[in-house]
Amino acid sequence: MKTSTASLLALATAVSALPAPSQKRACDAPVTLSGTENPFTKYTLHPNSFYRAEVEAAVEAITDASLKETAAKVADVGSFLWLDTIANIEKLKTELATEIPCENILGLVVYDLPGRDCAAKASNGELAVGEIDRYKTEYIDVIAGILKENPNQAFALIIEPDSLPNLVTNIDEQACQASATGYREGVAYALTELNLDNVIMYMDAGHGGWLGWDANIKPGAEELAAVYKDAGSPSQLRGISTNIAGWNSFDLSPGEFSDATDAPYNKAQNEKQYTTLFGAALQTAGMPNHAIVDTGRNGVTGLREEWGHWCNVNGAGFGARPTAETGSDLVDAFVWGKPGGESDGTSDESATRYDSFCGLSDAYKPSPEAGQWNQAYFEMLLKNAKPAF
């Protein structure tokens, strides 16, 4: 083929207009989010590269051709990235060096309070009770700095799963008593320092089977609202996250535990009811009350012997994919909070972080340490997914 100089020039111009493969496409304008608007109507939860890599490795390990094909689809599901240690803040930097579509919002879980997971063992963290200064300077300040350096990127933050709910219901436990001051101070600090234009925050509120009990709703809402006010009522706080790493159905009716003998004391039998009831109490207590709900692993119900069983529930399936179509004005979005396939806790009884909930008969065994990949569990979630992939 004869090529003229003019067409070569045209080709060169067209090629130079394309971004180099490794070049990150910059979103050209600063993001301005508002706590009075649902960010998920405008932005899609980003499928982060860490979960993508875990899923892609899982796909490699599957031999069944049709399962392999469906497994590959999970990599495209948006999910939250857990910043569960100071060292793992690196993950945020790595993620921001990849190309994130401008219409995507990056979901992050802020999860490193001193004395973390005070009522259980499986997710005990790296910071000891009292190490609040390290939490502030080595963890929150560093994350805040990175978010400020990326004003053109939208972020959705889940703030400290289980922490304040533990202070409401588990304060009789010595470890939670010891952690209480640090939890309140730490969460308030996070809310203040991360209150940035490109960020929307959701404070964790457990789930319907936890703070949804008649006796817990008001104290629960007041606990969260007090910390919100201590933080100076930050404008970017939109409300709460619920069912994070949880198993509750969003709208199963009657609810999964509605036949239990204690059911008359809990009207929050599903997360839709919970967000409505808890949301009303938040409003009374003077705190924004919108919600995001984790539907990552709630595809199958009727598996738990008791509502409070939280560890690697056997027989579980992936649930609804992230969407802003929730059918509830209070619920901004269904999200994947817990990356399905990562363990909730080890079933190894000799491990320091072994929690007896991970050894219950309705818990999947064997399971690795919290956060570690469990291939068999992932395949189970996939086979039981509802809706199917």
Binding-site residues for substrate, in ranges, read: 82, 84, 207, 210, 310, 338, 342
Residue 161's SS3 state is coil
Shortest spacing between CB 51 and ligand BGC, in angstroms: 10
Q: Which candidate in 112, 204, 294, 344 is catalytic? A: 344
Shortest spacing between CB 82 and ligand BGC, in angstroms: 3
| Backbone torsions φ then ψ of 105, nearest 5 degrees | -110, 130
Is residue 81 within 8 Å of residue 150, measured between CB atoms? no
Give the residue from 128, 210, 124 showing the smallest Cα distance to 165.
210
Q: Could you tell me which residues are annotated as the binding site?
A: 82, 84, 207, 210, 310, 338, 342
Task: Please identify, using beta-carbon distances, which residue of 294 and 342 lies nearer to ligand BGC.
Answer: 342
Respond yes or no: is residue 214 known to be catalytic. no
Q: Which candidate in 112, 162, 332, 355 is catalytic? A: 162
Task: Please identify, using beta-carbon distances, which residue of 85 and 283 lies nearer to ligand BGC.
Answer: 85
Q: Which candidate in 112, 117, 204, 332 is catalytic? A: 117
Q: How many CB atoms lie within 10 A of CB 132?
A: 18
Shortest spacing between CB 129 and ligand BGC, in angstroms: 17
Shortest spacing between CB 166 and ligand BGC, in angstroms: 14
Task: Please identify, using beta-carbon distances, which residue of 196 and 311 lies nearer to ligand BGC.
Answer: 311
Respond yes or no: is residue 204 known to be catalytic. no
User: How many angstroms separate the CA atoms of 296 and 119, rounded?
Assistant: 23
User: How many angstroms separate the CA atoms of 120 and 118, rounded?
Assistant: 6
Q: How many CB atoms lie within 10 A of CB 245?
A: 22
Shortest spacing between CB 338 and ligand BGC, in angstroms: 6
Cα 345 to chain centroid distance, Å, stands at 16
- Residue in the structure block whose two tokens are 């119900």: 301
Respond yes or no: is residue 162 known to be catalytic. yes
DSSP 39: G
The footprint of ligand BGC (CB under 6 A) covers 82, 84, 123, 338-339, 342, 344, 370-371
Task: Please identify, using beta-carbon distances, which residue of 131 and 160 lies nearer to ligand BGC.
Answer: 160
Cα 363-366-369 angle, rounded to 5 deg: 90
Peptide bond into 264 cis (omega under 30): no
Task: Please identify, using beta-carbon distances, which residue of 84 and 223 lies nearer to ligand BGC.
Answer: 84
Residue whose C-beta lies closest to ligand BGC: 371
List the catalytic residues.
Answer: 117, 162, 344
